[in-house]
Chains A and B, each alone.
Chain A
Amino acid sequence: MLIKIGKKSDLKESEVTPQSLFDQRRQFIKKAAGYSVAAATLSLPFSAMAALNLNPFQKENSSLSDELTARKHVVSYNNFYEFGTDKKDPAAHAGSLKTDPWSVTVAGECAKPGVYALEDLVKPHAFEERIYRLRCVEAWSMVIPWIGFPLADLIKQMQPTSKARYVEFTTLHDPQQMPGQKRSVLDWPYIEALRMDEAMNPLSLMAVGLYGEVLPNQNGAPLRLVLPWKYGFKSIKSIVKIRFSETQPRTTWNLSGPGEYGFYANVNPEVDHPRWSQSRERRIGEFRKRKTQMFNGYAEEVAHMYRGMNLKRNF
């Protein structure tokens, strides 16, 4: 049993977890126990998965019925251009990605730079389950039960200096393992970044699993970011480098289309993509489109970070 010392910013489970979900918790633990046995027999990199600290977390909006997106869709419909630009490509081609062993380089403005084995990087952190909405910039969305730990915990572990104003993340660049990188569709390697306060926000999640299992390769194994209030492309996958920086890093989609993909990329139904509307979205598995919510429904947790900013200009 893991003991967590509550922070002021923590949401009380009783406040945020709907009864139905809370009731499912035991069922989930049973299921997860089965999964962790499977993980052990397959000798997957996360022996820590056995010690899952399950804390179903969901900021429920009463006007939404956020049913989980079927697992088969979550693992078969992916934008992960490193494996091809068709959404079926990642599931078909991500088998060539080797996630064990895996190491992450930590660099820049921090007290603990170095090359960390993935196990060492994640070991100090308690895993929890978080059910998040995912809104793609292409106007479709999913609801996914992730497993991971707060990005803030990882950042604190690295002890950033006072100069660290941004955090930059880099995806693996290896065309042998990632055949999509043989074509320069994007400027490889894929780079994403956050302002420090965004990275420290309690919603920012370092994910290592979904649906009670280790992340499938096509979903960004073995380590990815999940930022539910931003368009999906900000949630960078298969991370090999984390760098603390004083200046705003250049990010991949922003370089590819500066007028279309901003640094912030916050979900915003008021600001259309230059070529299509962002006011509605199709939830995978549903027929009719639904209205997109400001900050993807997470305004309460994140809106304060952008107060006073012109969100039309800083899209």
Chain B
Amino acid sequence: MSFKWYLTWLFKPLLFVVCLLPAVLLGYDAYTDALGANPIEEISHITGDWSLRFLLITLTVSPLAILFHARWLNRFRRMLGLFCFFYVCLHLANYVVLDQYFDWPEIYKDIIKRPYISVGFAAFVLLIPLAITSVDKLVELMGKPRWLKLHQLVFVCAVLGVLHYLWVVKADILEPGIYGFILIVLMLFRVWHRRSQANVKV
């Protein structure tokens, strides 16, 4: 069997299961009442953490593919990106349903008045077109250059996501700082790579 067969029928399903594990564990902990004194806050933290992690993991795929000359890695990128969107949706659903209990006026006020919620919500809205256009048919329909341009938005989402985290912590900025640092490294890599490509052409 070819490498491509393994990729499609073994690695991808395996990755799918692994990516689902945090959600399964969360569900199990919720079911067994193991989320501590403030379960809604805990769900918010866990789903928020995994949203940011999957976003950064997604952005790590192409640098790895370039560095290790392993273009096949790019085949996992879409699934990882969609898992980021999945955890963002859980994060938002937890806020709307469990935390605010559909208190729409309060939610509206939060989005307008609270900068950390404003940027978090903006990141969610910007992720929607990216998730929708992840379908093969739509990539074809849009044409690859336009599709690539649209998907540059992911960097805006990542910056907003890190800000969302940074602006909610009280004093300990270590964790949002780590996410921010990784994001900067990933963006710098792309700048460096683009420059070196340009140099090759000259």
Contacts and interface: CB of A to CB of B under 8 A. Distances in A.
**Bound together:** yes
Interface of A: 72-73, 76-77, 81, 85, 87-88, 138, 140, 183, 185-186, 256-257, 275-277, 282, 284-285, 287-289
A183 B45 CA distance: 22
B17 interface: no
Helix, strand, loop or mixed for chain A's interface?
A: loop
B37 A183 contact: no
Contacts, number: 47
A81 B114 contact: no
Given A275-B115, A276-B114, A277-B110, A282 B38 contact: yes
B114 A256 contact: no
22 contacts: A72-B37, A73-B37, A76-B36, A81-B171, A87-B36, A87-B37, A140-B38, A140-B41, A183-B172, A183-B174, A185-B171, A256-B171, A257-B171, A275-B116, A275-B168, A277-B106, A277-B110, A282-B40, A282-B41, A284-B38, A285-B37, A287-B101
Contacts of B167: 275
Contacts of B101: 287-289
- Identify the 6 closest CB pairs spanning chains A and B, nearest first: A77-B37, A73-B37, A85-B172, A185-B172, A284-B37, A185-B171
Given A275-B168, A277-B106, 17 more contacts: A72-B37, A73-B36, A76-B37, A87-B37, A87-B38, A140-B41, A183-B172, A183-B174, A186-B171, A256-B171, A257-B170, A275-B114, A275-B115, A275-B116, A277-B110, A277-B114, A282-B41
Contacts of A287: 98, 101
Contacts of B116: 275
Interface string B45-67: 00000000000000000000000
Contacts of B114: 275-277
Interface string B163-202: 0000110111010000000000000000000000000000
Nearest to A284: B37
Interface residues of B, number: 19
A186 B172 CA distance: 8
A138 B37 CA distance: 14
A207 B90 CA distance: 41
A72 B34 CA distance: 12
The residue in B37, B41, B98 that gathers the most chain A C-beta atoms within 10 A of its C-beta is B37
Interface string B110-121: 100011100000
Contacts of B37: 72-73, 76-77, 87, 284-285
A289 B101 CA distance: 9
Nearest to A233: B170
B36 A88 contact: yes
A268 B41 CA distance: 22
A312 B190 CA distance: 48
A76 B109 CA distance: 32
B165 to A, nearest CB: 13
Interface string B88-113: 00000000001001000010011000
Nearest to A183: B174
A275 B109 CA distance: 12
Contacts of B38: 77, 87, 140, 282, 284
A139 B114 CA distance: 15
A240 B26 CA distance: 41
Contact of A85 (B36, B98, B109, B171): B171
Contacts of B40: 282
A144 to B, nearest CB: 12
Nearest to B116: A275
The residue in A138, A186, A256, A289 that gathers the most chain B C-beta atoms within 10 A of its C-beta is A289
Nearest to A288: B101
Contacts of A140: 38, 41
A278 to B, nearest CB: 12
Contacts of A76: 36-37
Interface in B126-142: none
Contact of A77 (B36, B110, B170): B36
A101 to B, nearest CB: 31
A197 to B, nearest CB: 29
Contact of B170 (A138, A277, A282, A289): A138
